[in-house]
Structure 1
Amino acid sequence: MPSNDIASPLLLHSKAPAVTQRIANPINFILLGVVYASWAARVPAVRDALQLDAAELSFALLGGGAGAVLSFPVAAGLVRWLGARLASCTAGLTMMLSLLCIALSPSLPWLAASVFLFGASTSCFDVSINALGAVSEKAAGRSIMSMLHAWFCAGALAGALLGSAAASAGLPVLQHFTLIALPLAALQLVNSRWLPRDEAGASSHAPLYALPHGPLAVLGTIGFFGAMAEGSVGDWSGVYLKDILHAADGMAPLAFAGFTGMMLLARLFCDRLKDRFGARRVVACSALCAAAGLGLATAALNLPLTLAGFALTGAGLAAVFPFVFSAGGRHGPTALAGVATLSYSGSLLGPPVVGMIAHSQGMQAAIGFLALVCVIISLASLKASALD
């Protein structure tokens, strides 16, 4: 049975007006999306500034995945000790700081360390806001997690389009990231006052952190491959357009923008599809659509069709994280952190693996590998009873 260790510390009351309470957690998901996409949009610019090859860029990206995976026990502890509201605020401000550190990195080791901090802070922020989302979903008595993740997509789409505009205008990465980080940090401080006033240090006999097993391990496996595909598209799609289709700097971020835009549209309907058909069927069918989209992108016939392929991939992967995190969150923050650890291990391995394949076999082979990953997601979801 699901544990109550998420419900006890997260008391859904706040001194903020009802309207601001309703928008507080969606704002958190928007912030996460903007920051994540801002980094993804300028990966080619950072690579070119430091003159990195595919293997060296893979090493830097490995830092982000390592930071995400290694920080999940910390994330569970922050939610337990500080409460999800203060944990999200602390992690969110660190996330903004890490964006500036990336822009200021003078060499590969510094870049890898900055991306490590970025991965760690975004994962802690992610667990905190998903913990709040799981409680809100339980209180609502219906599926709402996909809609919350749709707000992440809205933020990511905005971040990708802003990144495209900044790159087209020749704006240096440091100026771009400063213009993003400072206003969002101020918004984060204000928004934290609107979140539920949860209690820190709630007593619980549940372990602080444990890797999932049984049905939860299957959830983590699906999340693992979903993160591998989603993270790799975020990190490599812009590079793919530049290297294979010779797209301009301003066009390269549009692959991620299309990916995120279609993911946003799909997530607007995922909750209703889940209630009608069940999560397993939705994820299985949509993952095959993602595989088809990546197949189209791999063909690299021309720029519009390649952009369409990445967009279809976004629609196909839309249901994976909301449904995996919703199912994991029903078992408490410890279980959620464990499922997230397996899930985001895909972020650790995905981009570097894609980079190594690209280095040895070419970028098209690397994107084709991601199509195979999506087929695996489809097959695994059919066996994942915990999704429903």
Structure 2
Amino acid sequence: MRSPADPHKPNRIHPIALRARVALFVGFFVFGVNGSSWMARMPTVRSTFDLSEPQLGLLLTTMAVGSLVSVVFSGTIVAILGTRITMRLAGVLIFVSLMTMAAALMLDMLGLFISALLIVGAAGPLVNIPLNVSASDVSRALEREIMPHFHGAFSAGAVAGSGLAAGAARLNIELAHQLLVVGVLGPVTMIVIARTATALSDQDELLPDSAIRAASADTPEQIDKPARRSNLEATKSSFQVWREPRTLTIGLLLLFSSMSEGTANAWLAIVVVDGVGASEATGALAVSVFTSAMMVGRFAGPGIIKRLGRPRTMVAIASMSIFGLILIIVIAPIWAVMVGVVAWGLGVSLSGPVALAAAADRKNGAAARVSVVTSFGSAGQLVTPPLLGRVAGAVGPRAMLWVVVGALLATIVLSPAVRPESSEKN
């Protein structure tokens, strides 16, 4: 890859890449806020519809089903429509879903709320894939492994969204009213930034045709500009990647790492309250500590990856998560549990960014590969709640975490798959 410091070759792509990087930071942050700002108020949803704990878990599985169905086709959608239009389409779907949620809460209609969850679940991959493909393109243009920074922005948005939800609850603001505000500001922001955020991925729509034709083979515009393909070719290509061993292996890696992150999001508070005997406030604090540790890990990630490389980074972070989980499982004092939560959060922080960056190594077909890998992550999120619910019922919430330790050991075995692959390879 050409050095950006080479004085003999023009570097006209970097201003576009820098603007795209800023827009992507905003996009990832808003994506984090959109989800966490209402999920942090699940007790309100439970009380509104008078749901038991198992019923609430089943309700949340609805969103995972929508995500899993969507992710199978999202690579094809991105290949046909492009990242910019897909992201704007997702913004519209998020707006519709959050407005539907608000209406369902106001009217006390559980069926309408379930429909909203299906829509928001389907919208997730249509935001996630364009964001990650575009982030990979920016990383490639800037010749820096900065994917974790973008995911750090998502974690920062999740922390901000949780804080927003806590503040709204403290001020007795109805969740429906909160959704009416967030459901407008978030999607509108996503739609507005889509053009700049996807500038490198959909570059033929940003630059005039004359500029593209005039670009020499040495300019980044010519190197990075995706070739236009027919809808049939795009669809065919998006399904062919399902036969690539490396892509499937990365997908399995993300499936197991998603089990770890999903378990923390869904079960950590219960582990701390029921397993350790702490208060509900302490359980909520543990979730906040975990999310904050993930955010810190993601912003520190590029330096770690640069020093260790991707495969050794995966081994190191999985080992750290395993250490944290063992502390939570076997040591009773709450301070030790919190140390374990920090180690778990730091450890799980980079698995997703590294896996998605590896899936997008080759620009040709990057959206399809990210879609395939993301589908494995969605499958992990779909399977984890009912699976661990059964295990927790049999052995208790703390011992249940040994299943997550096993999943993390699997990511260590699969870690060689994320070794960088030439983006020039077809």
TM bracket, shorter-chain basis: 0.7 to 0.9
The SS at the match of 2:238 is: coil
Contact 2:358 2:418 in 1 (8 A): no
Compute the displacement of 1:385 (Å).
5.3
**Residue 345 of structure 1, aligned match among 371, 379, 399:** 379
**Correspondence for 2:73:** 74
The SS at the match of 1:222 is: helix
Compute the displacement of 1:195 (Å).
2.9
Name the CA distance, whole Å, in 1 between partners of 2:334 and 2:101: 29
Compute the displacement of 1:217 (Å).
1.4
**Residue 209 of structure 1, aligned match among 239, 250, 256:** 239
Instruction: Extract unaligned runs of 5+ from structure 1.
Output: 1-11
Identity of aligned residues (%): 23
**Residue 247 of structure 1, aligned match among 238, 263, 279:** 279
The SS at the match of 2:196 is: coil
**Residue 123 of structure 2, aligned match among 121, 124, 148:** 121
Q: Would the alpha carbon gap of residues 81 and 213 (structure 1) be closer, same or farther in structure 2, given more than 3 Å must change?
A: closer
**Correspondence for 1:295:** 326
Compute the displacement of 1:241 (Å).
4.6
**Counterpart check, 1:54 vs 2:53:** yes
Name the CA distance, whole Å, in 2 between partners of 1:378 and 1:18: 33
**Correspondence for 2:100:** 101
Name the CA distance, whole Å, in 1 between partners of 2:328 and 2:110: 29
**Counterpart check, 1:364 vs 2:398:** yes
Compute the displacement of 1:151 (Å).
1.0
Instruction: Return the TM-score normalized by structure 1.
Output: 0.85
Deviations 1:197-252 (A, max 9, x none): 5257931645233425312211111100111221232233344455554634x665
Structure ranking higher on relative contact order (CA contacts 8 Å, 6+ apart) = 1
Tell me how many residue pairs correspond in the alignment. Answer: 374
Deviations 1:149-202 (A, max 9, x none): 111111111112222333444443223333322222232233234334525793
Name the CA distance, whole Å, in 2 between partners of 1:145 and 1:82: 24
Name the CA distance, whole Å, in 1 between partners of 2:143 and 2:123: 30
Q: Would the alpha carbon gap of residues 51 and 335 (structure 1) be closer, same or farther in structure 2, given more than 3 Å must change?
A: same
Compute the displacement of 1:357 (Å).
2.7
**Correspondence for 1:178:** 180
Contact 2:31 2:186 in 1 (8 A): no
**Counterpart check, 1:271 vs 2:302:** yes
Structure 1 window deviating more from structure 2 (212-221 vs 293-302): it is 293-302
The SS at the match of 1:330 is: coil
Instruction: Extract unaligned runs of 5+ from structure 2.
Output: 1-11, 206-226, 422-426
Q: CA RMSD in A?
A: 2.9
Q: Would the alpha carbon gap of residues 243 and 87 (structure 1) be closer, same or farther in structure 2, given more than 3 Å must change?
A: same
**Correspondence for 1:6:** none
Name the CA distance, whole Å, in 2 between partners of 1:179 and 1:339: 33
Contact 2:75 2:369 in 1 (8 A): no
**Correspondence for 2:258:** 227
The one-letter code sitting in structure 2 at the alignment partner of 1:384 is A
Name the CA distance, whole Å, in 1 between partners of 2:409 and 2:43: 28
Deviations 1:131-160 (A, max 9, x none): 111111221222111111111111111112
The one-letter code sitting in structure 1 at the alignment partner of 2:417 is A
- Aligned pairs (5 A) from 1:17-28: 20-28=19-27
- Aligned pairs (5 A) from 1:155-170: 155-170=157-172
Q: Would the alpha carbon gap of residues 172 and 356 (structure 1) be closer, same or farther in structure 2, given more than 3 Å must change?
A: farther
Compute the displacement of 1:269 (Å).
2.1
**Residue 328 of structure 1, aligned match among 329, 345, 359:** 359
The one-letter code sitting in structure 2 at the alignment partner of 1:75 is S
Name the CA distance, whole Å, in 2 between partners of 1:34 and 1:372: 31
Name the CA distance, whole Å, in 1 between partners of 2:394 and 2:110: 21
Instruction: Return the TM-score normalized by structure 2.
Output: 0.78
